[in-house]
């Protein structure tokens, strides 16, 4: 009898070791670690969601074994992963996979940090867990998307569960049967819908926190003997069938252990939805050649794919989260202020009537030729028409941060320093960089986590 997808993935998770991971995978996992820690530090301080998670954690009386970053609190690994996962996603700074339409770092890194700290593990355990978590979840995600996303699901809440379960199973040293059960349990707990796109509610941030917590929970329950369906992924009533109209099962295990999808993720230079990045870059490209002012603008038209239209066509943004998702807001902020960074996404900033006036002039259309190419590339064309009738256009296929247009280590460090600058000192920044991007295999995660216990 042939193995199920979960059993095949369990073999990969069980057999993976730090020593047999390619050097470039180890390095990428460290980049993901540093980048996500920066997002958590920033989110713990700058976001309402991060503060709510901290307040909730304070009400719980639990064993103090894992750090809630940006506080002096320690709680259970589940609660720490939950709070840190929320903070990681709250400012839209987290990494992502264009193929899986998913942000793996905001759930896998918090879950891996929390369970490694609680279990007294080393950096090589942490990095291995991150690597297998990304691999398993991205492969499942890319087999189902864009159809899973277009059905209304948020893959950062759904797909993520398989990644966190894989990572935590690795840390806990589960056997193949137990890992298979953990994946089966994770598939049943997976949840997250995109209704927040309609009203801009903060529930979006809950999704990776929930997945981080549930990854630890499912691994612990599997260790105790709770069973999950072996056919959780491809079965007649499994995850793919229930959550997507179309999927490609064979792609999940094709090249497993030889080709690593963690190398295909993108990093974000802007604190907004990835689709907004395409629009921002195209607008900046036009402004370099044609220094238009807001008063010059007659109308702006955008050609792109279904995902961007569905998720980021938000001209009448109502909340800060809405603005982070809105292509209209990103373009308008750049045209009015010249930038769209952290300071442009505050309650006061989104009330700027000059920005809103430009946002109302922006329309978005699905282009059949661009849609045919999706997801590689996920192109966007911005066309700006001035009041004299001139039309200026720019197309972006691979924005900054994509593997085809990568952020270097120095650029990721620059981002880390920028987003954490109001939260921790330069000395602390240097220590975190050294203990994430350059961490030694035998370093103790407990020692590293001391750097993250502070009052901002």
Q: Which residues contact 165 (CB under 8 A, 6 or more apart)?
A: 182, 183, 185, 186, 214, 215, 218, 219
Structure tokens at 68: 């809630």
Question: Is 405 domain-assigned?
Answer: no
Whether residues 301 and 205 share a domain: the answer is: no
| pTM for this prediction | 0.97
Looking at residue 349, which CATH number applies to its domain? Answer: 3.30.1330.120
Q: Using an 8 Å Cβ cutoff, are 103 and 154 in contact?
A: no
Whether residues 194 and 329 share a domain: the answer is: no
Question: Is 409 domain-assigned?
Answer: no
Runs of H (alpha helix) within 47-122:
48-58, 77-89, 105-119
Provide the domain count of the chain: 2
Structure tokens at 412: 């990721």
Whether residues 263 and 283 share a domain: the answer is: no
Q: Is 382 exposed, middle or buried (0-12, 13-18, 19+ CB in 10 A)?
A: buried
Whether residues 389 and 440 share a domain: the answer is: no
Question: Is 73 domain-assigned?
Answer: yes
Q: What are phi and psi of 31, to 5 degrees?
A: -65, -45
Question: Is 265 domain-assigned?
Answer: yes
For the chain, 456 residues long, the average pLDDT of each consecutive 10-residue run is: 95 98 98 98 98 98 98 98 98 97 98 98 98 98 96 98 98 98 98 96 98 98 98 98 96 97 97 98 98 97 98 97 98 97 96 98 98 96 98 98 98 98 97 98 98 92
Q: In a 3-state reduction of DSSP, which class is residue 104?
A: coil
Question: Is 98 domain-assigned?
Answer: yes
Q: Pairing relation of β-strands 362-366 and 297-304?
A: parallel
Question: Is 21 domain-assigned?
Answer: yes
Whether residues 77 and 107 share a domain: the answer is: yes
Structure tokens at 151: 């059905």
Question: Is 37 domain-assigned?
Answer: yes
Whether residues 391 and 420 share a domain: the answer is: no
Q: What are phi and psi of 135, to 5 degrees?
A: -60, -50
Looking at residue 180, which CATH number applies to its domain? Answer: 1.10.4100.10
Whether residues 321 and 431 share a domain: the answer is: no
Bridge partners (DSSP) listed for residue 302? 364, 382
Which residue's entry shows tokens 């894992």? 66
Q: What are phi and psi of 71, to 5 degrees?
A: -140, 180
Rounded Cα distance, 111 and 129, in Å: 9
Please give the pLDDT value at position 290: 97
Q: Residue 430 sits in which domain range?
A: 5-269+414-452
Which residue's entry shows tokens 């030889």? 258
Whether residues 297 and 262 share a domain: the answer is: no
Please give the pLDDT value at position 113: 98
Rounded Cα distance, 268 and 5, in Å: 31
Please give the pLDDT value at position 456: 79
Please give the pLDDT value at position 455: 87
Question: Is 404 domain-assigned?
Answer: no
Structure tokens at 233: 């992924």
Whether residues 22 and 169 share a domain: the answer is: yes
Whether residues 261 and 282 share a domain: the answer is: no
Whether residues 385 and 301 share a domain: the answer is: yes
Whether residues 315 and 367 share a domain: the answer is: yes
């Amino acid at each position: 009898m042939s193995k199920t997808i979960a059993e095949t993935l369990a073999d990969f998770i069980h057999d993976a070791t730090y020593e047999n991971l390619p050097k470039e995978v180890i390095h990428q996992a460290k980049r993901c670690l540093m980048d996500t820690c920066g997002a958590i530090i920033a989110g713990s301080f700058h976001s309402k969601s991060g503060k709510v998670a901290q307040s909730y954690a304070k009400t719980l009386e639990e064993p103090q074994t894992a750090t809630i970053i940006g506080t002096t609190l320690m709680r259970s690994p589940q609660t720490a992963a939950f709070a840190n996962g929320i903070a990681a996603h709250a400012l839209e700074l987290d990494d992502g996979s264009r193929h899986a339409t998913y942000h793996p770092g905001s759930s896998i890194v918090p879950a891996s940090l929390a369970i490694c700290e609680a279990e007294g593990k080393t950096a090589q355990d942490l990095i291995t867990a991150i690597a297998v978590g990304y691999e398993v979840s991205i492969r499942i995600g890319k087999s189902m998307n864009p159809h899973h996303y277009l059905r209304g699901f948020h893959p950062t809440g759904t797909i993520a569960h398989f990644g966190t379960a894989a990572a935590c199973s690795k840390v806990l040293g589960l056997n193949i049967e137990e890992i298979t059960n953990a994946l089966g349990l994770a598939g049943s707990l997976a949840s997250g819908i995109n209704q927040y796109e309609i009203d801009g509610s903060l529930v979006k941030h809950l999704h990776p926190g929930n997945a981080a917590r549930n990854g630890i929970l499912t691994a612990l329950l599997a260790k105790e003997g709770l069973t999950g369906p072996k056919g959780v992924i491809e079965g007649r009533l499994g995850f793919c069938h229930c959550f997507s109209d179309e999927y490609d099962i064979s792609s999940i295990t094709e090249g497993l252990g030889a080709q690593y999808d963690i190398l295909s993720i993108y990093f974000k230079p802007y604190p907004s939805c990835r689709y907004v990045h395409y629009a921002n870059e195209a607008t900046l490209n036009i402004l370099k050649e044609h220094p238009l002012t807001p008063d010059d603008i007659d109308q702006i038209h955008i050609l792109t794919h279904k995902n961007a239209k569905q998720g980021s066509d938000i001209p009448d943004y109502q909340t800060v989260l809405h603005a982070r998702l809105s292509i209209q807001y990103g373009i308008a902020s750049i045209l009015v202020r010249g930038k769209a960074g952290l300071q442009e996404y505050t309650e006061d900033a989104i009330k700027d009537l000059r920005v809103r006036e430009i946002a109302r002039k922006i329309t978005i259309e699905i282009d059949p030729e661009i849609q045919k190419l999706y997801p590689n590339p996920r192109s966007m064309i911005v066309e700006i028409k001035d009041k004299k009738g001139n039309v200026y256009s720019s197309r972006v296929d691979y924005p900054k941060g994509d593997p085809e247009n990568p952020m270097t280590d120095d650029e990721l460090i620059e981002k880390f320093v920028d987003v954490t600058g109001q939260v921790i000192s330069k000395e602390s920044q240097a220590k975190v960089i050294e203990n994430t991007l350059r961490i030694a295999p035998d370093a103790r995660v407990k020692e590293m986590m001391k750097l993250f216990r502070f009052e901002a």
